[in-house]
Amino acid sequence: MSASASDKEIVLSLISHTNVGKTALARTLLRRDVGEVADSAHVTIVPESYPLIEEGGYSAKLWDTPGFGSNLAKLAGRLRASQNPVGWILHQVWDRSLNRSLWCSQEAIRNMQADADVVIYLVDASQSPSTIGYVDLEIEIIEWIGKPVLVFLNQTGEPNRERDRQNESEWRAHLAKNTIVKHVSTLDAFTRCWTQEHQILAQAGTVVSGQKQKTATYLTGAWISRNLGIFDEAVDAIAELVSFALCDTEPLPQRGLFEKVKELVQRNERNRTYERIQGRMYERLSKKTAVTVNRLITLNGLSGETAARLARSSCEALAVKRDVEESVMAVLGGVGSGLLGGLCADLATGGFSLGGGAIVGMIVGGATTYALARGYNLTQTGQNMVRWSEAQFLDQVKSILMLYLAVSHFGRGRGAWRDPVNNPARWKELVDTAMAAESADWHALWKKGGIASDPGSLAKGKIRTLVRHLLETVFRELYPDSASIFKRR
């Protein structure tokens, strides 16, 4: 390869102690299932390289390498005493199966020395650096090789910026003596957000020189553009669902005077009518939500599907609820668990709950048709039809936004998609705040909904703008270091 051709390529080598998560992170970044991931030592035993991004004649390559073994620590004294420790270790002949640990360490060192422009040293953030014996020796060896090192914290657990900051400063302090370490940041293979990924290339650009620096800068831009393109498609999918919820309606049954009076007296009968209307609307919403979530999963390079499905049996449980007017809350449990079925039940424990007041806000009848149940917030379309109330609609918007945040943090290295059990409370806080800040726009949008509106044009216009703006606000708050990516267009 000519000098100029090699200058147009940045080579990153993923290096770590074994079992820290190199292959998992490679899968997350590459959006495909490369290599083997397993919870045991020396799963990867042969270095493999993958194209990370190729664009405009520039490219970045990612090496996944075998992890350092614990035997390396045992060799520490000998290595330190040696005039040429790297030379020594590289010239040893170890048997691949008998001395797998040493073989793997040797392969990692060989890869760094021969191929890497930049070493991505991955560490296990669930442990304090001072308690992990092997880190100092591994960094020392990398230092002997002399390639610049970016340290990334993996295995952090659920996203939490405060905790990440603390972990980073602890690791930074621990590694302060190692001048080869240029940056310490977080990029968890399981829970990173796509908004953080380009930092690998951006930081690489700060530690290489000359034309390679230009290459890294170009590729950082390309990475961001690619992810923003996916983000735009995700926003479109969300906007379509939101417009569906906004414009969905159900006709109210026509009633003669006799039936109206009868229903006034027979609350159970009236409730059954409400349930049927709610059930149909929830069923449609649930199906459409599942389609949208699956689209978001695919767009974000993940495998698998949402398992959330409507559970019909719990819809029926609602029919036995008593005393709706006097005890709206009593009925809400049935509505909350029943009407969104599996989806709602899954989400209810995961911070997506539509329960409580949200359900109170649901549309269940029409003032001209029924004597209304006290506590329900009813909305008519003016044509003997009902649609979702504003409060309920806004909660539906929040739910899909929370689902999107879950998808955008789910790293492919974690395996196939799983519906969230818990989401960080911070996400909900930020979504609530961002929606409250734009409440006038959301209110105006809701007023536009109903039978007269055109869902397609609403989704392409106002809804898309509102959704994108809201998500950008949330991402800026969650990841201030990446906030500038949203200013680029």
Ligand X SMILES: Nc1nc2c(ncn2[C@@H]2O[C@H](COP(=O)(O)OP(=O)(O)OP(=O)(O)O)[C@@H](O)[C@H]2O)c(=O)[nH]1
Q: Does 212 bind ligand X (CB under 6 A)?
A: no
Q: Does 13 bind ligand X (CB under 6 A)?
A: no
Q: Which residues, including other chains, have CB under 8 Å from residue 353's CB and lie 6 or more apart? A: 336, 344, 347
Adjacency order of strands within the sheet including 149-154 = 48-55, 58-64, 9-16, 118-124, 149-154, 181-186
Q: Does 23 bind Mg ion (CB under 5 A)?
A: yes
User: What is the per-residue DSSP string for 413-435?
Assistant: GG-S----S---HHHHHHHHHHH
Annotate each residue in 400-429 with x if it binds Mg ion (CB under 5 A) or - if it does not, as one string. Answer: ------------------------------
Q: Does 473 bind ligand X (CB under 6 A)?
A: no
Q: Estimate to the nearest angstrom the gap between the alpha carbon of 336 and the chain centroid.
A: 25
C-beta of 406: minimal distance to ligand X in Å?
Answer: 16
Q: Look up tokens 């290096």; give the residue.
A: 15
Q: Name which of 105 and 220 has its Cβ closer to Mg ion.
A: 105
- 42-71: which residues touch ligand X (CB under 6 A)? 42-44, 66-67
Contact 26, 413 (CB under 8 A): yes
Q: Does 196 bind Mg ion (CB under 5 A)?
A: no
Q: Which does 73 bind (CB under 5 to 8 A by kind): ligand X, Mg ion, none?
A: none
Contact 236, 459 (CB under 8 A): yes
Q: Which does 380 bind (CB under 5 to 8 A by kind): Mg ion, ligand X, none?
A: none
The tokens describing 132, both together, are 């992990």
Q: Name which of 189 and 246 has its Cβ closer to ligand X.
A: 189
Let me know how many helices (H) and strands (E) the chain has, helices first. 22, 8
Q: Any idea how long the chain is?
A: 489
Q: Does 28 bind Mg ion (CB under 5 A)?
A: no
Cα–Cα distance, 112 to 225 (Å, whole number):
29
Residue 275: which of 354, 335, 196 has the closest Cα?
335
- 398-417: which residues touch ligand X (CB under 6 A)? 413
Residue 387: which of 425, 361, 354, 349 has the closest Cα?
361
Give the range of 35-43, 135-143, 323-331, 334-342 binding ligand X by CB under 6 A. Answer: 35-43
| Conformational region of residue 76, where left means phi above 0, alpha means psi within -120 to 50, and beta covers everything else | alpha
Q: Which of 13, 16, 44, 353 binds Mg ion (CB under 5 A)?
A: 44
Q: Which residues, including other chains, have CB under 8 Å from residue 265's CB and lie 6 or more apart? A: none
Q: Which does 188 bind (CB under 5 to 8 A by kind): ligand X, Mg ion, none?
A: ligand X
Q: Name which of 43 and 391 has its Cβ closer to ligand X.
A: 43
Annotate each residue in 152-191 with x if it binds ligand X (CB under 6 A) or - if it does not, as one string. Answer: --xx--------------------------------xxx-
- 115-154: which residues touch ligand X (CB under 6 A)? 154
Q: Name which of 107 and 248 has its Cβ closer to ligand X.
A: 107
Q: Could you count the other beta carbons within 10 Å of the beta carbon of residue 327? A: 12
- 218-277: which residues touch ligand X (CB under 6 A)? none
Q: Does 72 bind ligand X (CB under 6 A)?
A: no
Q: Does 306 bind ligand X (CB under 6 A)?
A: no
Q: Name which of 63 and 231 has its Cβ closer to Mg ion.
A: 63
Q: Residues in the site for ligand X, rule: CB under 6 A?
A: 16, 18-24, 37-39, 41-44, 66-67, 154-155, 188-190, 413
Q: Residues in the site for Mg ion, rule: CB under 5 A?
A: 22-23, 43-44
